[in-house]
Amino acid sequence: EDKVVQSPLSLVVHEGDTVTLNCSYEVTNFRSLLWYKQEKKAPTFLFMLTSSGIEKKSGRLSSILDKKELFSILNITATQTGDSAVYLCAVSDHDMRFGAGTRLTVKP
Amino acid sequence: DAGVTQSPTHLIKTRGQHVTLRCSPISGHKSVSWYQQVLGQGPQFIFQYYEKEERGRGNFPDRFSARQFPNYSSELNVNALLLGDSALYLCASSFLIPGELFFGEGSRLTVL
């Protein structure tokens, strides 16, 4: 059965810390892996990854995909309280399958 | 430019009733997808439409149905509501399949 597993489920850190969020997947026809940030309602797009080993970077956030080991990581450096959110990983094959998310809380 | 818009934002129904949720995609996007998000879980795929045709269906009962109109807006219908249908229903549009999804703010349904 296709599945997307994120870890940890929740994480509490202090401002300035660096965090690594994990996403492993098993899907039949992998097309892409996407990361989203969900603060209240609408998830907002962070990254789309299709190729192994190529890091995508946006400010303090970066992500990389390993298609051989079937996982991706999302790194956030120098965390800020505004980074507090649920981070969702989604894998696209015939449809878009989401993991349960990682709830990140950044304390001042 | 307007993002994905959904209506209503909140609604309360009782068991056995039906509900219609509406979604307007970003201008130029021809694909609309629907997701159900229960508290504490990630969004679960319900339907995807592209150019008014159903392109995918998740593991939901036949009480759930959807359609896409010529202007690419979409409706999600749920019949014979159950308590377990209480959730945030998210609509997302995309330009390509597969592609980056742009989500609306969702419709929060409460079934009493």
Residue ranges per structural domain of chain A:
3-107
C-alpha span between B67 and B54 (Å, rounded): 8
User: Using the beta-carbon criterion (under 8 Å), do B104 and A42 form an inter-chain contact?
Assistant: yes
A16-67 residue pLDDT tens: 999 999 999 998 888 899 999 999 889 999 999 998 888 999 999 999 999 9
User: Chain A residue with minimal CA distance to B31?
Assistant: A95
Residues 6+ apart with CB under 8 A from B59: none
* CATH class of the region A3-107: mainly beta
The alpha carbon of residue A22 is apart from the nearest alpha carbon of chain B, in Å, by: 15
Q: How many domains does chain B have?
A: 1
Quick check: B98 and A88 CB within 8 A?
no
Q: Is A44 on the interface with B (CB under 8 A)?
A: yes
- CATH code of the domain containing B62: 2.60.40.10
Cβ pairs A/B, distance under 8 A: 56
Give the CA distances from residue A29 to residues A98, B16, B98, B105, in Å, rounded to whole numbers and listed in that order. 15, 38, 12, 29
Cβ pair A101, A11 in contact under 8 A: no
> Which candidate, B17, B108, B26, B11, places its Cα nearest to that of B74?
B26
Chain B residues closer than 8 Å to A88 by CB: 42-43
Q: How far apart are CA B67 and CA B87, in angstroms?
A: 20
Across the interface, of B33, B41, B102, the residue whose CB is closest to A100 is B41
pLDDT at A56: 94
Which residue bears the tokens 């990254």? A47
The beta-carbon neighbor of A42 closest among B42, B100, B106 is: B106
Q: Does A33 touch chain B (CB under 8 A)?
A: no
User: How far is residue B15's CA from residue B34's CA, in Å, rounded to a whole number?
Assistant: 22
Per-residue pLDDT at B1: 61
Which residues from chain B sit within 8 angstroms of residue A43, using beta carbons?
43, 90, 101, 103
Which residues lie closer than 8 Å to B54 by C-beta, 6 or more apart? B47, B48, B66
Q: Nearest by CB to A42, from B44, B56, B103: name it.
A: B103
- Residues from chain B that touch A21, judged by Cβ atoms under 8 A, are none
Q: Starting from the edge strand earliest in sequence, which strands make up the sheet with B19-24, in order?
A: B5-7, B19-24, B74-78, B64-68
Interchain proximity A96–B33, CB inside 8 Å: yes
Note down pLDDT in tens along chain B; length 112 residues: 679 999 999 999 999 999 999 999 999 999 999 999 998 899 999 999 999 899 889 999 999 999 999 999 999 999 999 999 999 999 999 987 767 889 999 999 999 9
Q: What mean pLDDT comes out for the span A59-77?
A: 96
Asked if residues A104 and A13 have their Cβ atoms less than 8 Å apart, the reply is: yes
Domain of residue B72, residue span: 5-111
